[in-house]
Amino acid sequence: MIGNFEDPRKTFGEEVCRIALENRKIVLLSADSGRSSGFGSFMDKCPERYFEFGIMEQTMTGAASGLASTGKIPVICAIASFITARNYEMFRNDIGYMRQNVKIVGRNGGITYSDLGTTHHSLDDFGLIGMIPGVVVLAPQDPNEIREAVRAMLKYEGPVYMRIGNEKQENLFESGFEIGKARHICHGEDVTLISAGSMTANAVKACRKLNERDISVEHLGISTLIPLDCDAILESAARTGFVVTVEEHYTEGGLGNKVGELLATEGCPAELIKLAIPHDYCISGPYSEVLAYYELDADSIAARIEQDFKGVYF
């Protein structure tokens, strides 16, 4: 229901388990975090299709590749920084290079493990996994999109990486998720605001504030980083001439870079502002306070866009 808040990990786990109970090809793998990933009910009901590896992401990834070779559909879920950065070589070689039909889900993505420090922050996963050829990269924007993304990735033939968060998320949309397609959240003529994943909720609030200040914002919600919806971005950017990206990722390697490269390659002369975490080791603390510190809360997003927009056009 729109407006309800849900735990993204629980939402993800329930949907995966529901589908896995119906499809015996699906197997679930965990690195010492099965119940935290929402796999508890499946562990109890189908122990023969649940595999626990302990803190061994690399071994788990190799095993998933082997299972995929036998026709299984392995779903891995673990802490995002560990399943991507620690596990990069195995992800690249065992899953990417072999084009295996494995679904890897990084939970507690971005800075949602905010109080545990840099080791547990995942601010480079879009950049890292985006460098592996042939991997679809998903970042659902709300719990309903998580459900739809789970269904879509399990139908998709090939490797998929999906990032989900930890903090409870508000349901923003009823339906409409599609791999490779941006969501047109609102239409405007002054600014193109492009948000990814967990940042879309704050971007929606920022749009409302900007519209009250007579700044017309076109908001594109991105739940697929790869493949990116280039047509939607270029059409909007060409019309407004002013693009702002918002993401829970480093300023380097993520959505902002991908949009900048697209605009440059296609010769689109739009101004580009990237709102993200500076490319440095992130501070620790309560999630909302860390977001506010890096000016990724709704008020800060709106203030920055208003300031830069007026700086360019007035």
List pLDDT tens digits, range 282-306.
999 999 999 999 999 999 999 999 9
100-106: average pLDDT: 98
What's the burial of 304, exposed, middle or buried (CB within 10 Å: 0-12/13-18/19+)?
A: middle
* pLDDT at residue 4 in the model: 94
242-252 residue pLDDT tens: 999 999 999 99
* pLDDT at residue 37 in the model: 86
pLDDT bucket at 96, cuts 50 / 70 / 90: very high
11-25 residue pLDDT tens: 999 999 999 999 999
pTM for the full model? 0.96
Instruction: Find residue 122's DSSP bridge partners.
Output: 110
Question: 57, 6, 12: which is closest to 152 by C-alpha?
Answer: 12
Residue 310 has pLDDT above 80, yes or no: no
Cα distance between the two ends of the chain: 41
Answer whether 5-170 and 183-313 agree in fold: yes
For the chain, give the percent of residues with pLDDT over 90.
92
50-64 residue pLDDT tens: 999 999 999 999 999
What's the burial of 257, exposed, middle or buried (CB within 10 Å: 0-12/13-18/19+)?
A: buried
Residue 312 has pLDDT above 70, yes or no: no
140-162: average pLDDT: 98
- Range 183-313 has CATH code 3.40.630.10: no
Residue 313 has pLDDT above 60, yes or no: no
Instruction: Calculate the CA dihedral of residues 245, 225, 197, 75 and round it to 10 degrees.
Output: -160
H or E stretch covering 107: strand 103-107
* pLDDT at residue 153 in the model: 98
Class of domain 5-170: alpha beta
CA distances to 35, 88, 92, 237 from 132, in Å: 29, 9, 6, 27
Among 163-167, 191-195, 210-214, the range with the most confident prediction by mean pLDDT is 191-195
* pLDDT at residue 8 in the model: 94
**Domain spans, the chain:** 5-170, 183-313
What mean pLDDT value characterizes the chain?
95
* pLDDT at residue 3 in the model: 82
Residue 107 has pLDDT above 70, yes or no: yes
Could you give the count of Cα atoms lying within 13 Å of 68 in the half-sphere of its Cβ? 26
Instruction: Find residue 77's DSSP bridge partners.
Output: 30, 105
221-241: average pLDDT: 98
28-51 residue pLDDT tens: 999 988 888 889 889 999 999 999
Q: How far is CA 282 from the centre of its chain?
A: 19
Residue 314 has pLDDT above 60, yes or no: no
